[in-house]
Amino acid sequence: MTEPILKDPRELYHPEKFKKQDQDTPALQTEMSPNPDCGEESYVGHHKLENRRVLITGGDSGIGRAAAIAYAREGADIALQFFPGEEKDAREVAKYIKEANRKVILLPYDLRDEEAPAKMVEQTVKELGGLDTLVLNAAQQISQPGIGKIPIQQVKDTFMVNIISMFSLVQAAEPHLPAGGAIITTTSVQAFNPSSHLTDYAATKAAIANFTVNLARQFAEKGIRVNGVAPGPIWTPLQLDQGQPQDAIPEFGQNSLLGRAGQPAELAPIYVFLASNDASFVTAQIYGITGGEAINL
């Protein structure tokens, strides 16, 4: 009898502690140790997103990078937004997309710019010939020891990047999105169990969860599904760019039920599922990929 292929989730990827490290803004995935696994070598497509036209924000690294690689291998063309200065990571993702024989356009836009969302959508529609799927993933996360230490400009920037840009992107994209299209947001376990050193970030993630469910109700009559993903501790450049207290990096993710941080590659299948026709009866949902921590809306 053939034995089942079983893998102990506690021992996958990088179960050990991380070395102490940080980076200046913008942090690059290519300079992390260990390098996050975004499915570059492991993700295999099954034609679930043939000829989709997808705009992904924050697609140069981490979760957005994993989604971009998976989407391309599933047959989608990709418009990849990234923060200016992250070109090195973005070009690397573009290489993987081209190797999958899919089209990619790079969108170096700062989402703090009010005009950026409309420009991004316009360029995507023009160069990809349309737009049917949005993956709203970009985020700013800056750790501060308490609310009294958070500059108000940081609060404004965090809200602008994390949630206000989502409103603008959806408004710009709505006229182009067809029935059967999908919107996937990235919220966080922080929306449900916030850390005291991430007050502004957690507040935006709670807003994204609410936004997702509200938007699903509005778009259902158009035949467009809207869902969100709530990651837990995932090893991405966001953590090294002031996203965690520096002394916390070695222990990052070690207190999850599975005893380790997650890798972006472990989220890619859920982003694919939520965009695909397999999720035809799924909308207004938040999927937790947290290593065991509960989420509750």
List, by residue number, the catalytic residues: 201
DSSP state, residue 4: P
Spatial CB neighbours of 151, under 8 Å, sequence gap ≥ 6: none
Q: Which of 199, 193, 143 is nearest to 293 (CA)?
A: 193
Q: Which of 64, 191, 86 is nearest to 138 (CA)?
A: 64
User: Do residues 283 and 226 touch, judged by C-beta distance below 8 A?
Assistant: yes
| Interatomic CA distance for residues 6 and 10, integer angstroms | 12
| Interatomic CA distance for residues 289 and 232, integer angstroms | 6
User: Do residues 214 and 284 touch, judged by C-beta distance below 8 A?
Assistant: no
Counting Cβ atoms within 10 Å, is residue 136 exposed (0-12), middle (13-18) or buried (19+)? buried
Element (H, E) at 209: helix 199-219
| Interatomic CA distance for residues 228 and 188, integer angstroms | 9
